[in-house]
Amino acid sequence: MLIELRASDDRLRGPKAVDAAPILTSAYRAIADSLPDLSRVRVVADYIQYRQNFRDAVELRRVEPWAIDSATLDGDARSWEVAIDLRRAKPDLLEATLKDALDETNGTSSRLPLEQWGHGSRSVIWGFNGLYWKALSLWEQATGKSYESALPGGESDARNVQAARELILKLFELWDNLSTRRALPEELYVLEIGVGNGNQAAVFLDEFRRLDREKGHGYYRRLHYLMGDYSPHVLDLARKAVAHHPEHVSSLVLDALRPTETLGFLRYKAFLVYISNVYDNLPTDEIVRIGGHLFQVETRAVFDRSAAESLATSVHAKPDDLPELVARLLRLGPELLAEVLPEHFPTVTDAVTFWRSAWEALRLEERYVPLIELDTYEIAPEIGGELLRPIVEANGDVRMHVSNGAATSFADTLPLLHPHGVLQCHDLFVTDIHQYVDGFRGPGKYDGSVVNWVNGRLLAAIGNRRGFDVSFASFAHRTGANVLTMTARSRD
Ligand X SMILES: C[S@@+](CC[C@H](N)C(=O)[O-])C[C@H]1O[C@@H](n2cnc3c(N)ncnc32)[C@H](O)[C@@H]1O
Is the bond into 443 cis (omega within 30 degrees of 0)?
yes
Among 236, 255, 393, 438, binds ligand X (CB under 6 A): 255
Cβ neighbours of residue 453 under 8 Å, at least 6 residues apart?
280, 401, 428, 429, 430, 435, 441, 442
Report which DSSP code applies to 463: H
Contact mark string toward ligand X, 197..226, x via CB under 6 A: ---x--------------------------
Interatomic CA distance for residues 443 and 57, integer angstroms: 14
Among 102, 256, 302, 428, binds ligand X (CB under 6 A): 256
Among 89, 101, 272, 278, binds ligand X (CB under 6 A): 278
Least Å distance, CB 255 to ligand X, is 5
Interatomic CA distance for residues 330 and 198, integer angstroms: 25
**C-beta of 56 vs 236, nearer to ligand X:** 236
Interatomic CA distance for residues 11 and 439, integer angstroms: 10
**C-beta of 219 vs 279, nearer to ligand X:** 279
The reply to whether 229 sits near ligand X by the rule CB under 6 A is yes
Among 190, 195, 272, 470, binds ligand X (CB under 6 A): 195
Report which DSSP code applies to 334: H
Closest by CA to 301, choosing from 348, 361, 261, 345, is: 361
Q: Which stretch binds ligand X (CB under 6 A): 22-30, 41-49, 179-187, 228-236?
A: 228-236
Among 234, 329, 362, 402, binds ligand X (CB under 6 A): 234
Interatomic CA distance for residues 278 and 241, integer angstroms: 19
**C-beta of 79 vs 403, nearer to ligand X:** 403
Q: Which stretch binds ligand X (CB under 6 A): 43-51, 278-286, 308-316, 386-394?
A: 278-286
Report the site for ligand X in 125-164 (rule: CB under 6 A): 133, 156, 158
The reply to whether 403 sits near ligand X by the rule CB under 6 A is no
C-beta of residue 87 within 8 angstroms of C-beta of residue 440: no
Is 442 in a helix, a strand, or coil? coil
C-beta of residue 403 within 8 angstroms of C-beta of residue 467: no
Among 53, 97, 160, 231, binds ligand X (CB under 6 A): 231
Among 18, 172, 230, 293, binds ligand X (CB under 6 A): 230
C-beta of residue 219 within 8 angstroms of C-beta of residue 188: yes
The reply to whether 190 sits near ligand X by the rule CB under 6 A is no
**C-beta of 255 vs 378, nearer to ligand X:** 255
**C-beta of 8 vs 424, nearer to ligand X:** 424
Backbone angles phi, psi at 131, to 5 degrees: -65, -40
The reply to whether 408 sits near ligand X by the rule CB under 6 A is no
**How many other CB atoms sit within 10 Å of the CB of residue 177?**
12
**C-beta of 48 vs 158, nearer to ligand X:** 158
Among 257, 326, 407, 433, binds ligand X (CB under 6 A): 257
Least Å distance, CB 429 to ligand X, is 14
Interatomic CA distance for residues 187 and 318, integer angstroms: 59
Least Å distance, CB 281 to ligand X, is 5
**Over the range 133-159, which residues count as b (16 or more CB within 10 Å of their CB) and which as e?**
bbbbebbbebeeebbbebbbeeebbbb
Least Å distance, CB 259 to ligand X, is 9
Tell me how many residues contact ligand X (CB under 6 A): 19
Chain positions contacting ligand X, by CB under 6 A:
133, 156, 158, 194-196, 200, 229-231, 234, 255-257, 276-278, 281-282
